[in-house]
Amino acid sequence: MSTKSDTAKVRQHNLGLVYQVIDHHQPLSRTELSRLSGLSTASITKISRELLDARVIRECGELHSLRGRHPILLELDSRHFRYLAMRLGRGYVAMASFDLKGRCLRKERYTLLSREKESLTRELFSHLETFTQKYRDRLLAMAVSLPGRVDDEQGWVHHFPFYDIHDWPLKQLLEQTFSIPCFVSSSIHPWIMAERAWGAAQKSQNALLILIQEDIGAGVILDGQLVNSRQSRIGSLNHLPTADGQLPCYCGHQGCARTEVTTSALERSYLELTGDRLSAREICELALAEEGKARELLITLGHELGALLATLVIFFNPQTLLFSGELLAAASILFPLFRQEISARVPREYFEHLSIEATCFYEDPTRPTAILVQEALFDGFLLSRVTQPC
């Protein structure tokens, strides 16, 4: 016997399925929607009515046919709902609003001056209030991604490295304030999903994304699917041992990737070598301008990182290896070193078809975050909240 919750689950699933088919094939008729979704025409009539009433989809004309009635075409209604995607980084938050067709309507980047949890929360929320002022009542959901260790399920930030913030209940705080569903995730998983959907990994069934910031993470797509786990800390490479690293890590070991091949490791090495405190991006720019010490450090880092990547290439055998983070500025120095190290350490069949590429979304970090909302539309979760059963 089916229960009320089973019925609700089926309804949610069907709403998401119909939405996905419209998203991929719009504009289309109800008959095509039925054929492509596998749902009966009666179900399509009912679900499309619910989505029309909620202003999620709209009728947008007729399909011209030679005989009989002209079927009415449906498409996503981009006029009503908005959603927000944010990226929190070192001293900034980037925000972008999107319509249901995934078009970015407005972008802003705000500098964040606060460094501790309470004041950072106040500053962030103040920018959010300003950014969403004009369409607050039409805001469907918001998503935020940030580097560090995040419990995606609970939206709980265990550790945000640049600010050294621990135990930040960000999802809960956002939902209490804005009364809409909010999604909080570490950067890496939405990023590789977005690269697979819209970016540099569209043609790859197996792709690996390495994101280097204050810490180092990896996102993996195998057979077109994100590799993830609720139980394990998949994605962090912080404590992967490097070949020659000697520096102590807070975990009690030495030579961990986070102490040797991250942006902060590069900045620390440059400070020790020159006495100058520069950002990783500035060091990359100096290296490109042939400044000796910056170039020397980048080359050392490129070899160490390349050796580490060789291990991952053997393990995951990706077709595409994507690289992102501030060090991307020195891709012309780093990528040849990665190829050199990988080819020296890995059997030929593992790398002969391997393509090493920059990610598409480094300069547009809100786009990967937006995929979290799109997922919640595709699985029907957000749609079941804004529709009423007929």
Region from 26-34, 242-250, 292-300, 372-380 binding Zn ion, contact rule CB under 5 A: 242-250
The smaller minimum CB distance to Zn ion, of residues 239 and 295, is found at: 239
How many whole angstroms separate alpha carbon 64 and alpha carbon 54? 27
How many whole angstroms separate alpha carbon 307 and alpha carbon 324? 17
- What would you report as the CA-atom Rg of the chain, rounded to the nearest whole angstrom? 23
Residue 46 Cβ vs Zn ion, minimum distance, rounded to whole Å: 55
- Edge-to-edge strand list for the sheet holding 165-168: 149-151, 156-160, 165-168
The smaller minimum CB distance to Zn ion, of residues 240 and 346, is found at: 240
Q: Is residue 256 a contact residue for Zn ion (CB under 5 A)?
A: yes
How many whole angstroms separate alpha carbon 86 and alpha carbon 153? 18
Interface with Zn ion: number of residues (CB under 5 A): 4
Residue 310 Cβ vs Zn ion, minimum distance, rounded to whole Å: 20
Residue 215 Cβ vs Zn ion, minimum distance, rounded to whole Å: 10
Q: Is residue 251 a contact residue for Zn ion (CB under 5 A)?
A: yes
> What torsion, rounded to 10 degrees, do the Cα atoms 39, 43, 46, 47 define?
-30
Q: Is residue 249 a contact residue for Zn ion (CB under 5 A)?
A: yes
The smaller minimum CB distance to Zn ion, of residues 16 and 235, is found at: 235
Query: Are 370 and 341 in contact, with CB atoms under 8 Å apart?
Result: no
Region from 25-33, 202-210, 251-259, 314-322 binding Zn ion, contact rule CB under 5 A: 251-259
Region from 64-72, 168-176, 201-209, 247-255 binding Zn ion, contact rule CB under 5 A: 247-255
The smaller minimum CB distance to Zn ion, of residues 174 and 237, is found at: 237
* Strands of the chain, DSSP E: 28-29, 57-62, 72-76, 82-89, 92-98, 104-111, 139-146, 149-151, 156-160, 165-168, 182-186, 207-212, 216-222, 225-226, 320-325, 355-358
Residue 184 Cβ vs Zn ion, minimum distance, rounded to whole Å: 24
Q: Is residue 216 a contact residue for Zn ion (CB under 5 A)?
A: no
In the chain the first and final C-alpha atoms are separated, in Å, by: 22
Interaction residues for Zn ion, span 304-363 (CB under 5 A): none
Residue 237 Cβ vs Zn ion, minimum distance, rounded to whole Å: 10
Residue 161 Cβ vs Zn ion, minimum distance, rounded to whole Å: 13
DSSP secondary structure, 200-214, as one string: TTTT-SSEEEEEESS
The separation between CA 246 and the C-alpha centre of its own chain, rounded to angstroms, equals 32
The smaller minimum CB distance to Zn ion, of residues 162 and 351, is found at: 162
Residue 257 Cβ vs Zn ion, minimum distance, rounded to whole Å: 8
Q: Is residue 149 a contact residue for Zn ion (CB under 5 A)?
A: no
The smaller minimum CB distance to Zn ion, of residues 222 and 249, is found at: 249
Cβ neighbour number for residue 118 with a 10 Å cutoff: 9
Residue 210 Cβ vs Zn ion, minimum distance, rounded to whole Å: 17
- Which one among 11, 117, 171, 239 touches Zn ion, defined by CB under 5 A? 239
Query: Which residues contact Zn ion by CB under 5 A?
Result: 239, 249, 251, 256
